[in-house]
Structure 1
Amino acid sequence: MSLSGGKLFITGHNGLVGRALLRFYADKPQWQIITRSRAELDLRDQQATNAFFEAERPEYVILAAAKVGGIKASYTQPVDFLLDNLQIQNSVLSAAHRYDAKKVLFLGSTCIYPKVVEMPIREDSLLTGPMEETNAPYGVAKIAGIKLCQGYRHQHGRDFICGMPANLYGPFDNFDPEHSHVLPSLVRRFHEAKRTNAPTVTLWGSGTPKREFLFVDDLASACAFLLENYSSSEIINIGCGWEISIREAAEIIREIVGYQGEIRWDTSQPDGNPRRLLDISRMEKLGWKAKTGFREGVAHTYRWFLENRATART
């Protein structure tokens, strides 16, 4: 399948993923990119979303809009994370069906998978066990989105597909130390420690858990690839296929930031899951692989953070 272009609605275009998608499609004039800010269109509002789809008639949709945050945010705001994401998904997917969009790519998350699961995580692990409790509201919403996409395909023949990205990072990430994910939080922590000449930085846990980090521009490439090359009811993992310990990641980030102090590990604090690595064999068989190494991606992210310090989410 080869797409010659068309009208593509990128939801959540001001976020981490949406910005990467805009960068990817910036030099592809065959695609007419449609965006709306949250102020212009509240995707939780079904009536407003229907009116937008009726007026614009997007042929393709990448559903990257979501209420996102770290463990603390998800744990303290379960109603918001569940309802907002359900409303966004229901609104966009039903409008895409009603106004005859040719294809929709719904982006989920690795937190849909069980807390205890065989590594690397295969797509068929979905719903084989309980999720991590702190991420459950977000995960439940994403699973509902998956099931809705599968339902539209089964009941109405819609070409709605679902991609599950690994942990993402890159330009336009959220660097707030309280509400961000682990990698941008480390960037911010080491940057502030360097700026204030702090002798030590204390990090939670032992540093032994391993995580898979996917540079967000690689995800944008994968999204475009899936729009052109994938059509199935089955979800598909999007990752880089390797993992790194939090301790090793912290050392690399410290080096890139240029912080000379000591890292201390507070082992009285929880580690979380020991591993979260995706099985990406389906993507590899289709012919796509991530290109950005961890050190390269972190260096790019930190350069962006320094250049956009005044406007970055901190």
Structure 2
Amino acid sequence: MPATKRPDDTPASIEERVVARQESLSAAERKVARYLADHPDEVAFSSAETLGRATETSDATVIRTVKALGYSGLPALKKILQGTVRERLTPAGRFGKDLDDLGDDPDQVLSRVLTESIDLLERARGTIRPDSFAAAVSMLVGAREIVVLGYGGLGMLGTYLALRLSRLRLRARSAVTSGFLLADELLPLTEDDVLVVVAHQIVPTEIDVALRHAHDVRAKVILVTDMLAEALGDRVSVTLSAPAGNSQLFSLQAATLAVFDALILAIAVQDREPALLALTLMNRLRGELRGDPLPADDTRTSRRRNGSRRA
């Protein structure tokens, strides 16, 4: 019988075992073996009866094939395949697969990332509803305060959005603390505020608690997401669907950033005069910090007069 290990003493994969043993298998067994190799994710969580139906054979043929491939039984094969699935689903496992797919040519990597990003932006045209976007802009413009909540890399993007909103002289802050400390960030929320939640695939406890609290105080909620629109749709005021990559490449945030920039520009267009004043004052402050001489027409009085756009 062919060996069940490679020369380096690591176990042979199911694909390698099928290739090595296919000549010794019957026609029905070869059909089952090919299915096992081609559909490892399904096999990992299927019964012998289910696999028999999928291959148009029988549960007995499935078990006989698994043993002919060198496994002690179907449970042993499923355990191995489930471990492979878990490894692939971890961040490290996904990232490792992405690196293998990209290759080691920097130009190829750049081209692939740009191509994927362009595809995400094109997809965003169809996933973001114009009426939802307009509603989000209106909520942000009318908010007493805007709190942007996200974690990990999305938390950094949330900080970017809060900064850009602040530069339009809107009261905005990012909330990236976790655990008990998040309570201090959520406590000031009122019905006049807007909570922007940035979450693509996972709803951590902090976001779940924040959504419940926003509901209790009647704060409006804008969800920016890739895959959670259906899961959280009834808990938010409006959803902006921003595709964030696919199974062929690690998560890319081109669409998320485009949504944020579009929100900023739409707010600036809607409130043109305050936006221009904010830009003027920003440039003046930067000039002072560089040590530039003050112009004769100093705007400090205007600064004191206008203050923040929200009381």
TM range (shorter): 0.3 to 0.5
- TM-score (norm. length: structure 1): 0.32
Higher relative contact order (CA closer than 8 Å, sequence separation 6+): 1
Larger proportion of strand: 1
- TM-score (norm. length: structure 2): 0.32
Q: Greater Rg, structure 1 or structure 2?
A: 2
